[in-house]
Amino acid sequence: MKKQLLSASIALLTFTSLSAHATTYLSAKAMVDVQTGKLVQSPLITIDNGIITSVEQNKKPVLSKGDKHIQLFELTLMPGLMDMHVHLTSDPTVPRSERLGQSVPRMAIKAAHFAKKTLEAGFTTVRNVGAEGYSVIAVRDGINAGDIVGPRIWAAGPSLGITGGHCDNNRLPPELKYTSTGVADGPWAARVKVRENIKYGANAIKFCATGGVFSKGTKVGAQQYSYEEMKAIVDEAHMRDLPVAAHAHGTSGIKTAIKAGVDSIEHASFLDDEAIALAKEHGTWLSMDIYNTEYTLTFGEQNGVDEENLNKERQVSKKQRDSFNRAVKAGVNMVFGTDAAIYPHGDNSKQFSRMVEFGMTELQAIQAATINSAKLLKMNNKLGQLKAGFAADIIALKGNPLENITELEHIPFVMKAGQVYKNDL
């Protein structure tokens, strides 16, 4: 199975429509070294078969027949951005009552549409943490096959959760006897559900450790899965070398999930000192969506969000931002995760300014969306930097994001695996 997963990762990296014999050269005004935080002047990047083969300075390419030279002399280059928490099937402008009637094929079409928007916003890699019917797995496979356009996707199947919990559907009457696909109670049932997700193509696993903001009838901070259930999920996924994400707002759920060995905690709203210390001790990554609260509290009512959910958002928002600030000061591992779908897809970069506002430097925020996210995916030798041997996932912007992080909200040039998908120059 590990060989199959490695082959799938290699396929994610090498897919490109470029000729195997053509070389692409990319020149620019400057390049951000995301490891050092230095601005490298006059870079020349050489790309073959979607992979960077060299990065030089103050050089001009010697072109052979069929080679291409892309000249961006007014722009600054960066690695493609990475968002570790998205839901490509969901549209925040569609009321949840209407979403109940959407078929899995309709969800997949939505996901394909939003995948393209996400890529064009400069996000060349995302982790989709939960979708019904294996819909985003189908979209991921379509992108890899060249049928549709979108970022690299690490796709969890249906999110695992307890009966009546945040990852169940509690909006339908009991006589329909509906249970969400990912519901599993007890350690062995949870293991079976992990195996089922892997069977149908998941290359990440997500479960709900606590209640949530947008579910019906759950307390946002209350723990749901027990330690034994969480440990079973993590152990089963790690035997197959898959990263595990735990949705966890509440303190006890966060601590239990960390002790169970999860790779990342999603939301992490109510952190205490012990939870922060545990995250540091275990090397757990925190993925904290501190921008979307503004969208929800501004547009939620007109988008049909229930008052129950708006109230829970009000309870969480300030606490989560305080927790974010404390985690940054403590030096906890942090990745970039937005929960895109709670706000419009394509606006992912709006979170960068909030990460800086609430405690990060510009470089730390950039690293969260590049080298840190690559580490979480165990792809830090292939993704997240502009250097030889790495995928040619490259964006370009007009200003210097190390001085003004909002420059990342306007990306005119996007390349993935050596192929240009956006060039608004």
Residues annotated as catalytic are 206, 339
Residues in the chain: 425
